[in-house]
Amino acid sequence: MSKVTFFKGEQFPLEMHKVRIIQKLNLLPIEERLQAMNDAGCNTFLLQNRDVFLDMLTDSGVNAMSDQQLAAMMIADDAYAGSATYTRLYDKLVELFGMDFFLPTHQGRAAENIVSKVLVRPHTVVPMNYHFTTSKAHVTVNGGEVLELITPEGLEVSSTNQFKGNFDVDALEALVADRGADAIAFVRMEAGTNLIGGQPFSLANLREVKATCDRHGLLLVLDASLLADNLYFIKQREADCADMTIPEITRAIADCADIIYFSARKLGFGRGGGICIRDEEMYKRMRGFVPMYEGFLTYGGMSVREMEAITVGLDETMDEDMISQGPLFIKYMVEDLDRRGVPVITPAGGLGAHLDAMRFLPHVPQSQYPAGALAAALFIASGVRGMERGTLSEQRDADGVEPMANMELVRLALPRRVFTLSQVSYAVDRIDWLFANRELIGGLEFVEEPEILRFFYGRLAPIGDWQERLVAKFREDFQDSL
Ligand code: F0G
C-alpha cells in the first residue's frame, strides 16, 4: 500500500483516487426530516432517497465504480448463451480462487438460496462464525438450524482484539462430538463478519476451521461478500501474512473452502453474485437451480454490463490502494467518535462505523428497539441514513416469541470511495450532539409487523413525543442551521 507520512505526524486517510463524477445532495431542514421519518414509519429502509443527505444505509450496490469498470461495461457481450462477458468473469474467478466451477446468480442471497436448497435438510445444523440475515433465513426456510460459533471476544462490543470474526474451533469440535458430523449440513465462514460490526477472521483461524472440517468430512462454505475488507485486515494485522501479496492471501483463503459464494453488490463493486465450486459433482447438484430461478448459466440474472464491471472490480480488489479506502475512513470515524466518548464498536472493522445503542440509550429497553430508535433519531438530527442491526432485524420464532439480539447496533456504512472526510466529520458532529442529548430519545413500537424479514418494510411509531422534543432542542442549539 502507498505509504505517506505527514510533517506534523497527523494521521488521516489520503485517497489514492480522484472523484470525476458527482451527485448533488439535498439537506432538508430538521422539521422536514422529522416529517420524512414519520412518513417512513420510523424505518430508515422506507425513506425516499431525495430526503436523505448522507446515505449510510449500506455498502450494497452503492460503492463508487472506477473509470476502468465503466469502460469495461461498454464492451459487454449480451449473447443469451455463451457470452464472452461470462468467460471473462469466469476466468477472473478461476485466477483468484482457483476453483473450476462457477454459477452466476442475480445477487448474494440467490446464491444462498441455491446453497441451502442443495445442502440443508430438516433438522440439520449450520454452524457459522456469525449469521447474516438472509443467510439465516435461507437455512431456516429449508428446515435447518443456525448455530453461532463466534469466539466469545466477537461479541465484546469494546475490544482490542484484531480478529473478532474468528470461529470458535473448540465449539465446532464439541458440536461434532455432540450431534455427529452427519447432522452438520455445512460449516459457514463469513468474511468481514457483517452483523458484529464488519469484523475480520484471521487466516490462521480459517486454516484451523478447515483442518477441523477435514478431520470430520465437513463441507466448508465461505461467504466472501465482504472479502475485500477481510483481505486488507489480514495483510495489516496478521503478522504471519505481512509479506504476502493480496492475491496470495486471497488464494490461501480460497484454498480452505469447498464453496465460495458472494454478493457482487459488495465484492467487485458491482451488482450481482455467484457461487464458485471446487467439486464437479457438487456443481452438477447446484447447476439446475440457476436456469430455474436466475437465468441462463452464462448470466444468472445479472446484466452483462454489471458482469464486466465486476470482473474489473475483482481485479481491482487485489490492489491494496483500492481496498484500503473503506477501512481507513472507518477507522478515522470510529476513533473520532470513541475520543468523544460515543459508544462504538472497537476496534474499527470494515463496512462502516457501528454505534452501540445498548450503551448509547441504556434507558430504552430492547423490546422498544433502541437501535431502531437511534437510527430514527440520527436521521432527524442530521439527514444521515443508518441501518438498525439489532432486535428489529431478528425474526419471531415459531411460537411468536421475539428473540433479543446479542447486540443493538446502528450501522453507518461507508460505501467505498463515495464520501469525503468532511462529510464523515459532519456525521460525527451530529452523533456527538445526539449523544449529549441522548436522554431525550425514547423507544419505538410496531404499527405494522411483517412475518418475514420484518426490518425491511415493517412500520413503527415513536413511544411518546420524544421526536418533537428532539427537534425543539436542535433548534435551540443550532438556531437556523440545516
Ligand atoms: N452475505 C453477506 C455477508 C452480506 O452482507 C449480504 C448482503 C449478503 C450475503 C446478501 O447479498 O444483498 O447481494 O443478496 N448484505 C447487504 C447489507 C444487504 O446491507 O449488508 P445480497
User: Is residue 142 one of the residues assigned to a domain?
Assistant: yes
Ligand 1 neighbour 60 (Cβ under 6 A): yes
Tell me: cis bond preceding 347? Omega within 30 of 0 counts. Answer: yes
Q: Is the pLDDT of residue 207 over 90?
A: yes
How many angstroms does the Cα of residue 363 sit away from the middle of ligand 1?
Answer: 31
The C-alpha cell 473450476 sits at 100
Name the domain boundary from 259, 291, 319.
Answer: 319
How many angstroms does the Cα of residue 253 sit away from the middle of ligand 1?
Answer: 20
Average pLDDT in the 344-350 region? 97
The residue type found at 189 is: M
Nearest to 61 by CA among 269, 310, 327, 353: 269
Torsion of CA 267, 271, 272, 273, to 10 degrees: 10
The residue type found at 67 is: D
Ligand 1 neighbour 226 (Cβ under 6 A): yes
Q: Is the pLDDT of residue 211 over 90?
A: yes
Q: Is the pLDDT of residue 217 over 90?
A: yes
- Cβ distance 15 to 323 under 8 Å? no
Residues 288 and 210 occupy one common structural domain: yes
Res 395: pLDDT: 85
Ligand 1 neighbour 263 (Cβ under 6 A): yes
Residues 144 and 260 occupy one common structural domain: yes
Ligand 1 neighbour 196 (Cβ under 6 A): no
Measured by CA distance, the residue closest to atom 21 of ligand 1 is: 108
Q: What is the pLDDT of residues 280-297, one digit of tens each?
A: 999 999 999 999 999 999
Residues 300 and 313 occupy one common structural domain: yes
- Cβ distance 170 to 261 under 8 Å? no
Residues 297 and 382 occupy one common structural domain: no
Ligand 1 atom nearest to CA at 226: 3
Name the domain boundary from 319, 351, 373.
Answer: 319
How many angstroms does the Cα of residue 389 sit away from the middle of ligand 1?
Answer: 13
Q: Is the pLDDT of residue 1 over 90?
A: no
User: Is residue 210 one of the residues assigned to a domain?
Assistant: yes
Mutate to test the pocket of ligand 1, among 57, 106, 132, 138 (most ligand atoms within 8 A of CB): 132
Q: Read off the CATH number of the domain in which 461 is found.
A: 3.90.1150.10
Residues 220 and 356 occupy one common structural domain: no
Residues 364 and 450 occupy one common structural domain: yes
Residues 403 and 257 occupy one common structural domain: no
Residues 156 and 265 occupy one common structural domain: yes
User: Is residue 421 one of the residues assigned to a domain?
Assistant: yes
DSSP string, 416-474: TTTS-HHHHHHHHHHHHHHHHTGGG---EEEEE--SSSHHHH-EEEESSSHHHHHHHHH
Res 397: pLDDT: 86
How many angstroms does the Cα of residue 265 sit away from the middle of ligand 1?
Answer: 8
Nearest to 353 by CA among 409, 418, 408, 411: 411
Q: Is the pLDDT of residue 384 over 90?
A: yes
Torsion of CA 157, 162, 168, 170, to 10 degrees: -130
Integer Cα distance of 4 and 222 in angstroms: 34
Ligand 1 neighbour 134 (Cβ under 6 A): yes
Residues 85 and 218 occupy one common structural domain: yes
- Cβ distance 354 to 330 under 8 Å? no
Ligand 1 atom nearest to CA at 59: 19
Ligand 1 atom nearest to CA at 265: 13
Measured by CA distance, the residue closest to atom 15 of ligand 1 is: 60
Res 209: pLDDT: 98
Q: Is the pLDDT of residue 118 over 90?
A: yes
How many angstroms does the Cα of residue 362 sit away from the middle of ligand 1?
Answer: 29
Ligand 1 neighbour 194 (Cβ under 6 A): yes
Residues 47 and 87 occupy one common structural domain: no
- Cβ distance 63 to 413 under 8 Å? no
Residues 356 and 309 occupy one common structural domain: no
Q: Is the pLDDT of residue 248 over 90?
A: yes
Q: What is the pLDDT of residues 69-81, one digit of tens each?
A: 999 999 999 999 9
Q: What is the pLDDT of residues 177-201, one digit of tens each?
A: 999 999 999 999 999 999 999 999 9
Ligand 1 atom nearest to CA at 58: 19
How many angstroms does the Cα of residue 449 sit away from the middle of ligand 1?
Answer: 22
Query: Angle CA(265)–CA(251)–CA(116) in degrees, nearest 5?
Result: 50
Name the domain boundary from 278, 295, 319.
Answer: 319
Ligand 1 neighbour 225 (Cβ under 6 A): yes
Domain that holds residue 463: 30-59+322-478
User: Is residue 19 one of the residues assigned to a domain?
Assistant: no
Ligand 1 neighbour 138 (Cβ under 6 A): no
Q: Is the pLDDT of residue 453 over 90?
A: no
Average pLDDT in the 70-95 region? 97
Q: Is the pLDDT of residue 452 over 90?
A: no
> How many folded domains does the chain comprise?
2
The catalytic residues are 80, 132-133, 223, 266, 389, 455
Measured by CA distance, the residue closest to atom 19 of ligand 1 is: 58
Using a pLDDT cut of 90, give the percent of the chain over it. Answer: 96
User: Is residue 12 one of the residues assigned to a domain?
Assistant: no
Nearest to 97 by CA among 227, 255, 231: 255
**CA distances (Å), origin 34, targets 42, 120, 469:** 9, 44, 11
How many angstroms does the Cα of residue 109 sit away from the middle of ligand 1?
Answer: 7
Q: Read off the CATH number of the domain in which 313 is found.
A: 3.40.640.10
Ligand 1 atom nearest to CA at 351: 20
- Helices (DSSP H) in 43-160: which residue ranges? 67-73, 84-97, 108-119, 133-141
User: Is residue 14 one of the residues assigned to a domain?
Assistant: no
Report the side by side order of strands in the sheet with 409-413: 352-356, 409-413, 387-389
Res 2: pLDDT: 85
Ligand 1 neighbour 129 (Cβ under 6 A): no
User: Is residue 11 one of the residues assigned to a domain?
Assistant: no
Residues 118 and 198 occupy one common structural domain: yes
Integer Cα distance of 429 and 383 in angstroms: 12
Integer Cα distance of 356 and 39 in angstroms: 26
Q: Is the pLDDT of residue 210 over 90?
A: yes
How many angstroms does the Cα of residue 105 sit away from the middle of ligand 1?
Answer: 13
- Cβ distance 32 to 51 under 8 Å? yes
User: Is residue 134 one of the residues assigned to a domain?
Assistant: yes
Mean residue pLDDT of the chain comes to 97
Q: Read off the pTM.
A: 0.96
Ligand 1 neighbour 230 (Cβ under 6 A): no
Ligand 1 neighbour 265 (Cβ under 6 A): yes
Mutate to test the pocket of ligand 1, among 134, 138, 199, 306 (most ligand atoms within 8 A of CB): 134
Q: What is the pLDDT of residues 310-340, one digit of tens each?
A: 999 999 999 999 999 999 999 999 999 999 9
- Cβ distance 72 to 312 under 8 Å? yes
Res 11: pLDDT: 86
